[in-house]
Amino acid sequence: MADECREQNVTSLADFDEAQARPHTRHIVKVMLDQLRHVYFTREDTKDAGFIDTEFYGVRVRNRSTVIDLSGVTQRWLRDLLWDLLDARLTSNPPRSNSTLTRPRRGCIELSAFLEAQAPAGGHDPALLAKDHAVTFVADQRHRREHGLLSLGLYENGSRFEQSPVTKCTVAATFSGARQVLRTALELGEAERLGLAREFIITIPLSTAKSGRRRPFPDGVARALAGEDNLRRLEDFDLDDRGLRDIWEALVFTGRRGSEVSGVRFDCISRLNGIPMFWHDQTKVGNYDQAIRIPERLYERIERRQATTVARFVRQHGRPPTGQERSGLALFPRRSANASGQHSVTHAWFGRCFRDWVDTLDVGHYVAHQARHTLATNLLRNGANLTHIKRYLGQVSERMAEHYTHLASTDPRLEDALNAVWVAGPGSAEPGLLLSGSEPMTREEAEALAVDLTRRSTPAEGGFCTFQPVVDGDAVGVHLNVPTHVRANAASS
C-alpha cells in the first residue's frame, strides 16, 4: 500500500485514488479510511463533509458499507435536507434494508444533476425554483426510461462511479426518494425557510415500481433445473466450491428467499424428535430463530457442506474451530476478506452463477426466486389453503397470497365447484333456491361464488354456515339459534 501511495505521489490516504489500485490494496485503504473517519469526524461533522456513517448510530445494514456518500448532491441545501432525513431515520427507526437509505440518495442525486444542468444558478438558490422545473425533471426521467437512456447522476459500481441505465424501477426509486426528502422538508417548515416553492415539491409524483408477478416454473423447465446431469453442470460454475448447488437445492426444497439460504449459519440444521429441521433468518436482522422441516436428502447434503466448511477453516487456521467459532461460522463462506469465515456469500453472487447456468440449458430466462412460487403452487394443488402457504413460506404478503388464489387451475376445490349445484338452505329467505343452474358453471362463475362464500360463510357440517350477528345490514333475532346452511351437492348429468 505504501508503494502504491508513493507511485500516486500522495501523502494522505484521503487523496488515494482507489480506481488505480490493485484490489487487495484498495480493500486495505478502504478499511483504514472507515476506521479513521471516526477519529477525524464527529457525527455532526459528517454533514459538512458530505457523507453519513451509520456506525455513529450503532447501525449496520447487511451487505453494505457503513459510509453513505452524499457528495453527488452538489446543491448544499438539498444535501442538507437529505442528511437530515437519513439522520432522523437512523436515530429513531434504524432500517433493516439497504433501499431505505439508498432510495432517498438516488432521488436527490438525480434531481441535483438535473438542476445543475437546467435550473437557474444551477439549482443552488432554491428560491429560484418553480413548478415548471419539477415538471421538466419528471418528463426527463420518463423520457430516459422509455428510450433506455443513461441516468443523469453517477453511481457506485465497484470502485468506479458511472451512469446506469434508467428503468421503471430506478424511475420509481428516483421519484419516491426525491419526494420523500422534499415532502419531509415541507412538513417540518424547512422548505419555507429556504424559500422553496410548495408547487415545486408537490409536482414530483409518488411512483411505485409495479413489476410483473413471478410465475412458477413450467413443468419442462422444472425438470431441466432438477435433472441430475444439469445439477452437475451447476457445480462447474462454483469454482471455489462455496456451495452453489447446495443453495439451489435448499431453495427448491424449502421455498425460502435466496438471502435466507445463502446467509445461513453453520449450525443451521438439527433434529427435533427425530425430524430434520432447517434454521434460518426471516427478519433480515440476524435472528436465526425460524425452522422448517426438510427431507433427509437435503439434511445429508447440508451435513456434507458443514464438513467442507470445517475443512476450509482448518486449512486457514491450522486447527478446527472452537464451539464459539462454529456458532458464528457461515455455512457458505465467501472467498475474499473473510479470514474469520463469518461472512456468507452474497445472493448477488448466487444469482450471477445461476443465470449463467440457466443460459447453458437453453430453456429461456428464469430466476431462482420462481422456485418459491412453484412450491406455493404445488402446495395449493395438493390441498393446502392460503393460511398453510403463508405459514410455510413465511411472511407472504396479502398481495402475494391473493395472487396464489388466481392460480385457479391448480385448486382442486374450484374444480369440484365447476360441477356442483348450489342451493339455499332451509333458514334462508328462499329455501331451496338454486344458486346455480343444473348445467355446470363456468370457471368465472364458480370462482366468484367460492369467493363470496368465503367472505360470508364458514364451513359447517353438511355445508357452509351463514349465521351471522348481522346479515345484509339487518340484525338477526336472538331466537334464531339455528345456522343457515348452503349445501353443495354433486350435479347429475
- pLDDT tens sequence for the chain (493 residues): 999 999 999 988 888 988 888 888 988 998 898 888 888 899 999 999 999 999 999 988 876 778 899 999 999 999 999 999 999 999 999 887 788 888 999 999 999 999 999 999 999 999 999 999 999 999 999 999 999 999 998 887 655 678 889 999 899 999 999 999 999 999 999 999 999 999 999 999 987 666 556 688 999 999 999 999 999 999 999 989 999 999 999 999 998 889 889 999 999 999 988 999 999 887 666 677 788 889 999 999 999 999 999 999 999 999 999 999 998 999 999 988 788 999 999 988 999 999 999 999 999 989 999 998 888 888 877 777 777 777 777 766 666 666 665 554 444 554 454 445 455 555 555 655 555 444 555 656 555 555 444 444 434 334 444 433 333 444 443 333 333 333 333 333 3
| β-sheet bridge partners, residue 465 | 458, 485
Report CA-CA distances (Å) from 192 to 88, 127, 131, 186, 376.
Answer: 20, 10, 15, 7, 51
- Structural domains in the chain? 41-203 (no CATH), 219-381 (1.10.443), 411-490 (no CATH)
Residue 292: all three cell numbers together: 422448517
Residue 352: all three cell numbers together: 450471477
Q: Which amino acid is at 116?
A: E
> What is the pTM for the complete model shown?
0.65
Rg (CA), the chain: 29
Report CA-CA distances (Å) from 445 to 18, 172, 439, 440, 451.
Answer: 64, 37, 12, 10, 10
Neighbours of 65 (CB within 10 A): 14
Residue 25: all three cell numbers together: 490494496
What's the gap between Cα 273 and its chain centre?
34
Longest CA span, the chain: 94
Residues 6+ apart with CB under 8 A from 60: 54, 66
Q: What is the pLDDT of residue 447?
A: 54
